[in-house]
Structure 1
């Protein structure tokens, strides 16, 4: 089971000021945060350079893994909108280094649409 495939639940939009404070030390000069999504303790952050997945581990959450995914590594992606009975939207990312996609669930279809715009902007250049 991969890092993200085991995540259960749905992501909601995170406060960008809090996200920037939390990851400010790993951002490069000139890199800006475009969106952030909170999933319980974990975060998915989209910058103008990459996707950063922050996985808080353990009972206390003090141990943290930061996965940096450059947009050039995204081979393809798919989205599934929310339905009548399934209220969550889903985003799948296939990376050049993984056979199986990374999967993210979101509470609102609008979040997935916003992410797709960012992904398309940075992968179709």
Structure 2
């Protein structure tokens, strides 16, 4: 059901070791940076590390062109979570930076445990800043 979820716009969990391998090839991660959680959305990728969120937008037919966006936790002003219900099985995560009234990152996540982990991670990082 993973591919079907991706096509519908639902983020699916990715093995952090696979993400480290993929991002190491592109030299995106710092040598001591730790990946806590990662999600695929069709060909795109959202990675939560120990100090930032990395959004990878895969472009073009071949997927060789990629756009990387870094969102340091220190620039996040707030986030909101909408949990899943009986008819709506997806939870939504919205992340805002201080200069924006619209979310800089929006994700639909079906894994409630992963959503809880991300919520704790974001709250912890916002508390420190």
Greater share of helix? 2
Q: Same fold (TM over 0.5)?
A: yes
Name the SS for the 1:83 alignment partner: coil
Q: Aligned partners of 1:116 and 1:13: how far apart in 2? A: 15
Matched, 1:26 2:28: yes
Q: Mind listing any 5+ residue stretches in structure 2 that lack a counterpart?
A: 1-6
Of 46-55 and 93-102, deviating more is 93-102
Name the SS for the 1:26 alignment partner: coil
- State the number of aligned residues: 119
Correspondence 1:83-94 to 2 at 5 A: 83-94=85-96
Q: CA RMSD in A?
A: 1.5
Matched, 1:68 2:70: yes
Name the SS for the 2:124 alignment partner: helix
TM superposition score normalised by structure 2: 0.86
Matched, 1:114 2:117: yes
Do 1:73 and 1:97's aligned partners in 2 also have CA atoms closer than 8 Å?
no
Do 1:82 and 1:108's aligned partners in 2 also have CA atoms closer than 8 Å?
no
Question: Which 4+ residue blocks in structure 1 deviate beyond 6 angstroms?
Answer: none
Q: Mind listing any 5+ residue stretches in structure 1 that lack a counterpart?
A: 1-6
Partner of residue 80 from structure 1, selected from 72, 75, 82: 82
Of 7-16 and 51-60, deviating more is 7-16
